[in-house]
Amino acid sequence: MKNWKRNVRRVIPYTPGEQPNEPDMIKLNTNENPYPPSPDVFAAMRAFDADRLRLYPDPTAGVLVDALAKRYGRKSSEVFVGVGSDDVLAMCYLTFFNSGKPILFPDITYSFYDVWANVFGIPFASQPLDENLCIRRQDYYKENGGIVFPNPNAPTGVYLPLADVEDIVSHNPDVICIVDEAYIDFGGMSALPLIDKYDNLLVVQTFSKSRSMAGARIGYAFGNERLIGYLNDVKYSFNSYTMDQWTLSCGAAALGDEAYFRATVEKIVATRERVKRELAALGFTMPDSLGNFLFIRHRSVPARELFEALRKAHIYVRYFNKPRIDNMLRVTVGTDEEMDRFLTFLKEYLKKSLKE
Ligand SMILES: *Cc1c(COP(=O)(O)O)cnc(C)c1O
């Protein structure tokens, strides 16, 4: 073996959902928002002066940080921003998970959590969800090097009541607890107000789902001034200019259009609730999701078979070939029209396959 091979950092990377590009496709596999970003984002893009690209962007991402602080009623010093919440979460791992003790997260959860642990050499111990796919708060009382979980959880959609989130944070005063609220706008109550009460809490959110801007890569974290200061120190030690000028302007513009944001979220929630009822009538069961997706299982047709059949029809959903969830499909809530085509396909497919 060549000597250099011994010193390569070898990791198993995160596998994102596929990004097919068929003209007639229905894309329900990566929890993107089916509606366009706010018209104010289109306007900000048109108004952007390309001559500004000569200059480095503002390293503090000031316009975006200030717009977030204003929108959420916080101080700018309590806001950290990054290239999607994936970047924000990775920075949090690097900054706070250095005790050498295992960090804790659920066994069924966002599949990036163990990937970051591996790339940074952080030990971890995953905690099994209960038989209803819920987080058991008692599992997080043991000694650990930090805690991270999404609320609502992904891919289950299950929301952990705020009292339980607080219970976990309050049982762990000596480590940083990260609540990943990628889907919070679609239903649950945010843990954001708790950052005043707990100095070990970080609340992470994103523009990728509820603000229809997955392609712009904007994520952010709220925490007390000291935590945000530590995060910025690490960020500036890594890459001072993670967010480009154009993205900063578009992100700030999106935050100004509260009416559009609310209307879009309401439409998705209404579609989600209707599709829950229609899927149940077709023989599907699912945990009660508060995200922009449903995690479904059919009483007789295996998930993998349905996944393949849907894919052939250019309807893309997500299948995870993993223990405990290999008979389930995660389906993003699209427009009403997209969901009607999805439901029509299922009706016809089930009629055929149950006759055989
Ligand atoms: C989508 C998602 C993210 C990542 O979002 P980006 O901001 O696009 O990086 C983080 N956590 C969870 C649970 C997600 O589902």
From the list 353, 350, 354, 310, the residue with the least C-alpha distance to 334 is: 310
Tokens of 251: 């992100």
281 phi, psi to nearest 5 deg? -65, -25
Which residue puts its alpha carbon closest to atom 5 of ligand 1? 85
The answer on pLDDT for 192 being more than 90 is yes
Residue among 178, 208, 292, 295 to mutate when testing ligand 1 (max atoms within 8 A of CB): 208
Of 257, 292, 320, the last residue of a domain is: 257
Q: How many residues does the chain have?
A: 356
Among 219, 241, 257, the domain-final residue is: 257
Distance 86 CA to ligand 1 centre (A): 6
Residues 203/92, Cβ–Cβ less than 8 Å: no
Looking at the fold, whether 293 and 195 belong to one and the same domain comes out as no
Residue 295's domain spans which residues? 3-36+259-355
Count of the separate structural domains present in the chain: 2
Whether this prediction's pTM lies above 0.85 is answered by yes
pLDDT band for 354, please (50, 70, 90 cuts). Answer: confident
Local structure of residue 319 (DSSP, 8 states): E
Residue 186: give its domain's CATH number: 3.40.640.10
pLDDT in tens, 325-343: 999 999 999 999 999 999 9
- Residue 193, exposed/middle/buried by CB under 10 A (0-12, 13-18, 19+)? middle
Same domain, 16 and 84: no
**Identity of the residue numbered 243:** M
244 and 286 share one domain: no
Task: Note the Cα 178 to chain centre separation in Å.
Answer: 13
Clarify whether residues 143 and 11 are in a common domain.
Answer: no
* Cα Rg of the chain (Å, integer): 21
If one residue of 30, 33, 81, 110 were mutated to test the ligand 1 pocket, choosing by the most ligand atoms within 8 A of its CB, it would be 110
Domain termination site, one of 223, 257, 291: 257
Cα–chain center distance at 321: 20
Pair (31, 51) in one structural domain: no
- pLDDT of 219-236, one tens digit each? 999 999 999 999 999 999
Q: Are residues 318 and 294 in the same domain?
A: yes
